[in-house]
Amino acid sequence: MAPKHQAPRGTRDLLPEALGRWQWAEARARDVLARYGYGEIRTPMFEDYELFARTSGESSEVVQKEMYRFKDLADRDLALRPESTAGVCRAYLEQGLGGRSRVHRLWYMGPMFRYGRPQKGRYRQFSQIGAELIGSAAPGADVEMITLFVDVFEAWGFKDLVVAVNSVGTPESRRAYAEALRSWLAPARDRLSADSQQRLEVNPLRVLDTKDEGDLKLLHGGELGALPHMLDHLDAESRAHWDQVLAGLEASGIRHEVDHGLVRGLDYYTRTAFEVHDRTLGAQSTLGGGGRYDGLIEALGGPPTPGVGFSIGMDRAMLVLEQRGEGAPAATAGVFVIAMDATRAQAARLVRELRREFVVEWDVEAKSFGQQMKIAGKSGARMALILGEDEWAQGQVGLKDLTSGEQRAVRREALVAELRASLAAPAEAAPKRGA
């Protein structure tokens, strides 16, 4: 019979087997973030719709087409968060963090929601891990952020990462560039896809984000001459900032390459923008990205406050790790307790005691001895603890190493010490769960 309910389109259930890899990656990322001196922040999963419209931009794809916008029972206009930077900046202002110290280093992890077309690596509920450095306009802050970004990936075993970088300038220099781009594309305007023609009117930089083959040919095919570069339209300060960011990346040993087409999908960026791609993922190849957002906090009614940050798409990073077979957790090295009818009551208490220190499994269904042995063998546990009636009466239990098959009797008072020693010793060949 088909189940009555399915998870909504674009959402997924993650089961324990898959979550082992997620938890491993999350723990490693937390370690890197802690060593960089970042503190965790948790903000609500929904906020006023207006917060996102004002920051991501009314004309951005995210706000135009992908918002989970809803009214609550008191008619408030709310939205599930499509990203976290806006929420973090809202919290920064609301909690008065600027008054406590000038610079704040924050990180977050959790689900985001975008109503896009689901496909491999693109979901309607997905998870991001991100960091924000608020309060410093220095190029060194951009460099720290990109270095942290790369170091999280390296902690997950990614090697030879190349970060794509660009500068999107200030709103003024961007306007000048948008004009240059518009006139450059004017002769071919009618041949652009309908989407790009519309973008050309509203926000010409977005044309650079096109996936349309015909558009790409016009942009990069040479027919119109060389595509104008944002970097050639930067104001002097943004240019100096850019040069220092590049020098800082060199000094830190971060492999990077300038990508003149990198424009990012959200409107709040100023100056530095960056991304990392993995081509094995196909169309949804961006593993993460970020940049500077010096006008965002002011746009929320705060004092001029610079910021820079990134977010990594965990679902995509996990797909890559899975493909590479990286980050799979080791089989649980634990204890399986086997009880007889006569020792079941005592076993219940012992299992509870041992679980204060060890990973312990046992059979709650009171199966036969043979069946329990079989389950123990498949469980992945390192040791079986056998509570035979006679042995228990003599103050002893049987301890069987499930790797070597060796079994001995152990006095109950010595059991914890024996288990500690046995579980700490290297296994000859670790048994695999379900093998």
Sequence-distant (≥ 6) Cβ neighbours of residue 425 within 8 angstroms: none
**Dihedral in degrees, nearest 10, Cα atoms 176, 177, 178, 181:** 130
How far apart are alpha carbons 397 and 394 in whole angstroms? 9
Taking CA 148 as the corner, what is the angle to CA 145 and CA 151, rounded to the nearest 5 degrees? 150
Radius of gyration of the chain (CA): 28
CB of 91 to ligand HAM, least distance (A): 14
Residue closer to ligand HAM by CB (options 313, 380) is 313
Name the amino acid, one letter, at 183. Answer: S
Closest approach of ligand HAM to the CB of residue 114, in Å = 5
Cα–Cα nearest to 337, from 391, 373, 385: 385
CB closer to ligand HAM out of 80 and 266: 266
Measure the CA–CA gap between 81 and 111, rounded to whole angstroms. 8
Smallest distance, Å, CB 259 to ligand HAM? 14
Angle of helix 236-252 relative to helix 139-155, nearest 10 degrees, comes to: 40
Other CB atoms within 10 Å distance of the CB of residue 94? 11
| Nearest residue relative to ligand HAM (C-beta) | 313
Residues 237-276 that bind ligand HAM (CB under 6 A): 265-266
| Residue 294 vs 363, nearer CB to ligand HAM | 294
Rounded to the nearest whole angstrom, what is the least distance from the CB of residue 239 to ligand HAM in the complex? 21
Task: Please tell me the distance from the alpha carbon of residue 146 to that of residue 136, in angstroms, as a whole number.
Answer: 15
Alpha-carbon gap, residue 97 to 101, rounded angstroms:
7
Write down the least CB distance from residue 118 to ligand HAM, Å: 8
Output the smallest distance, CB 406 to ligand HAM, in A. Answer: 49
Contact code string over 292-321 relative to ligand HAM, x by CB under 6 A = -x---------------xxx-x-xx-----
Quickly count: other Cβ atoms within 10 Å of residue 412's Cβ.
15
Maximal C-alpha separation, the chain: 95
Distance of CA 237 to the CA centre of its chain: 33
Nearer to ligand HAM, 275 or 363 (CB): 275
Question: Between 87 and 327, whose beta carbon lies closer to ligand HAM?
Answer: 87
Of the two residues 269 and 392, which places its CB atom closer to ligand HAM in the complex? 269
What is the distance between the alpha carbons of residues 309 and 151, in angstroms, rounded to a whole number? 14
Residue whose CB is less far from ligand HAM, 85 or 166: 85
Query: What's the closest the beta carbon of residue 160 comes to ligand HAM, in angstroms?
Result: 19
Span of 71-79, 155-163, 180-188, 288-296 interacting with ligand HAM by CB under 6 A: 288-296
Restricted to residues 30-89, the positions that interact with ligand HAM (CB under 6 A) are 83-85
280 vs 368 by CB, closer to ligand HAM: 280
> Among residue numbers 111 through 150, which ones bind ligand HAM (CB under 6 A)?
114, 116, 121-123, 126, 128, 130, 132
**Tokens found for residue 192:** 């652009």
Least Å distance, CB 109 to ligand HAM, is: 12
Sheet with 335-339: strands ordered across: 360-362, 335-339, 383-387, 396-401, 407-411
Ranges within 342-361 binding ligand HAM (CB under 6 A)? none
Q: Does 228 bind ligand HAM (CB under 6 A)?
A: no
Question: Which residues in 58-201 belong to E strands, given as ranges?
Answer: 69-71, 77-80, 104-113, 125-134, 163-167
Tell the smallest beta-carbon distance from residue 266 to ligand HAM (Å). Answer: 6
Is the CB of 111 or the CB of 377 nearer to ligand HAM?
111
User: Which residues of the shown chain bind ligand HAM in the complex (CB under 6 A)?
Assistant: 83-85, 114, 116, 121-123, 126, 128, 130, 132, 265-266, 286-291, 293, 309-311, 313, 315-316
